[in-house]
Amino acid sequence: MGNVIGISTRIKSRAPMELFASAKVSFKHGVGNDFRGLKRNARQITIMSLEGWEAALLDLGKDLHWTTRRANILVKGIDLHNTAGEILKVGSFIVEITGELIPCHRMDEQVAGLTKALTPNWRGGVTCKLLREGIVNENDRVTFMDQNSLAIEGF
């Protein structure tokens, strides 16, 4: 089990990331009003672990704010490596992890070497498809769900 330690969105591509203490998570907009949430695809919501981010920073030898990665949710205490197909409950919303959030050239535009530092072991995070709307707050619990839990939730 882990916890949410950060929430961020952006209104358009390349826009600055905005931080929030809580946000609505909806099918129509993803997290808050994030521009990617509008697309309702396999990359509607992005989640990264603090542990992965810290490992990348250690490799880089730099101290950067986590929003440099441009993910929506930062969690602590959850290993996201190789979790495609898993179901994750974050606060009151539920997502299916659709794959690795592969670092792109935009990372190196911000900081030289960041793409390479984020590449091992899914450090850059995961992409997710929303299954159930809800609210996310800092410090909310984050847990993987098993099939029995899904049945209880009505899936």
Full set of structural domains in the chain with CATH:
2-153 (2.40.33.20)
Residue 40's pLDDT band, with cuts at 50, 70 and 90, is low
Close Cβ partners of 112 (under 8 Å, ≥ 6 residues apart): none
Q: Pairing mode, if any, of strands 45-49 and 30-31?
A: unpaired
Distance linking the first and last C-alpha atoms of the chain:
21
Residue 38's pLDDT band, with cuts at 50, 70 and 90, is low
pTM of the shown model: 0.92
Distances (CA, A) of 78 to 12, 14, 27, 46, 90: 28, 28, 24, 14, 11
On the question of pLDDT at 155 being above 80, the answer is: no
Are 71 and 114 within 8 A, CB to CB? no
Q: Which residue has the tokens 């590449």?
A: 119
Q: Which of 1-5, 66-70, 148-152 has the lowest mean pLDDT?
A: 148-152
Q: What are phi and psi of 29, to 5 degrees?
A: -125, 0
- Note the pLDDT tens digit of each residue in 93-151: 999 999 999 988 889 888 999 999 999 999 999 999 999 999 999 999 999 998 666 66
